[in-house]
Amino acid sequence: MKCLSITRQKVTAKIMIEILVEPFKYEFMTRSIITASASGVMLSLLGPFAINRNMGFMADAMAHATLPIIAVGVFLGFSISELGVPASILIAIFLGYIIKNSNIGEDTAIGIIFSSFFALGFVLISLLNVTINLEDLLFGQILAVSSFDVLIVVGMCFVVVLLITIFFKQLLFYSFDPIGAEVRGLNTNFLNYLFLVVLSVAIVASLQTVGIILVLSMLLIPAAASKQITDTFLSSIFVSIFFGVTSSVAGLYLSYFYNLPSGPTMSLVATFIFVICFIASKLRKVKI
């Protein structure tokens, strides 16, 4: 009887491994999983900073503001990944400058840029007769990534992680108490633009994974889920990264086996994790 149970366990383990390995038979799936993981790491690393600084709307505007740059870039023969770095730096600096130097309020300034750039993108696509699959752009098409795209996204992920690690303490000080940080002698202007550029890089690099509309979900949901069940900021970052990568990879597997759109599936897995964490947090409070 015991022997039969062990055999059953072995068979189950073998089936599980086969399921996990099966997508790797296809090169495009290997490329997709690497890209999804890199996006998951980047976005969910920055997520805890973004949610605690209430920068969700700003991040959404960054994603939407890429449309005109993508339209012109594709018209000139570049891919979205190739445009990533210059586009993200331009958007971050432009948004940062407008917000700082306009007297109409941060939300209003972001709202104007958000809608006008998105509208300009659609007009340019029509005017320049650019061949872009809008659905892919809005909701992501990770299965179409090339080896070169993978290299760029992984490279950007490396740069984002490195910069956040190096400037972590300064960024945290600036985010918590900007005036205190400036008086202490930190270069707060540099830190402000550094975070905007890094956030923009992560968003633009993830457009092919989850698209313009859903990139926000991968930035905010893993971070919000992790905040429900962690007590310190550093632990919330590590848990957020774990949730981000899990949502990306699990979403990709589900989309592969059930023939679902990859971006929205990743987003829904992240939401599912958030709901579990939210309930767990409420139950913990009730127990206390």
Partner 1 sequence: MDNITEDNFENTAIIVSDGCCVQLGNLQVLDDVTFSINKGKKVAVVGPNGGGKSTLFNAIAGLIPIVDGSLKIKGMSPEDARGTISYVPQKDLINKNFPLSVKQVVEMGLIDRKSLNLFSRKKINIKIKQALENVGLQDKIDENINNLSGGQFQRVLIARGLAQNADILLLDEAFSAVDVGAQEDIMNLISDINLDGKTILIATHDLNNLEEKFDEILCLNRHCCAYGDPSKVLTKEVIEEMYGSHNEMFKYHTTESHSKNND
263, 209 Cβ separation under 8 angstroms: yes
Comparison of 170 and 271: residue with beta carbon closer to partner 1: 170
Residue 67 CB, shortest distance to partner 1, in Å, is: 30
Report d(CA 60, CA 12) in Å as an integer: 43
Give the DSSP H/E element, type plus range, for residue 50. helix 27-52
Comparison of 204 and 241: residue with beta carbon closer to partner 1: 241
Q: How far is residue 203 CA from its own chain's centroid?
A: 6
Residue 28 CB, shortest distance to partner 1, in Å, is: 36
Comparison of 118 and 243: residue with beta carbon closer to partner 1: 243
Residue 43 CB, shortest distance to partner 1, in Å, is: 19
Residue 103 CB, shortest distance to partner 1, in Å, is: 9
Comparison of 31 and 227: residue with beta carbon closer to partner 1: 227
Three-state DSSP string of 161-178: HHHHHHCHHHHHHHHHCH
Comparison of 10 and 184: residue with beta carbon closer to partner 1: 184
Residues lying near partner 1 in the complex (CB under 8 A): 51-54, 165-170, 172-173, 175-187, 227, 230-233, 236
Comparison of 152 and 221: residue with beta carbon closer to partner 1: 221
Report d(CA 240, CA 227) in Å as an integer: 8
Q: What angle do CA 21, 27, 30 make, to 5 degrees?
A: 55
Comparison of 175 and 246: residue with beta carbon closer to partner 1: 175
Output DSSP code: residue 230.
-
Residue 99 CB, shortest distance to partner 1, in Å, is: 16
Output DSSP code: residue 186.
-
**Cβ burial, residue 113 (10 Å; 0-12/13-18/19+):** buried
Report d(CA 247, CA 102) in Å as an integer: 38
Report d(CA 254, CA 263) in Å as an integer: 11
Residue 266 CB, shortest distance to partner 1, in Å, is: 26
Residue 267 CB, shortest distance to partner 1, in Å, is: 24
Query: Comparing C-alpha atoms, which of 168, 151, 138 is closest to residue 84?
Result: 151
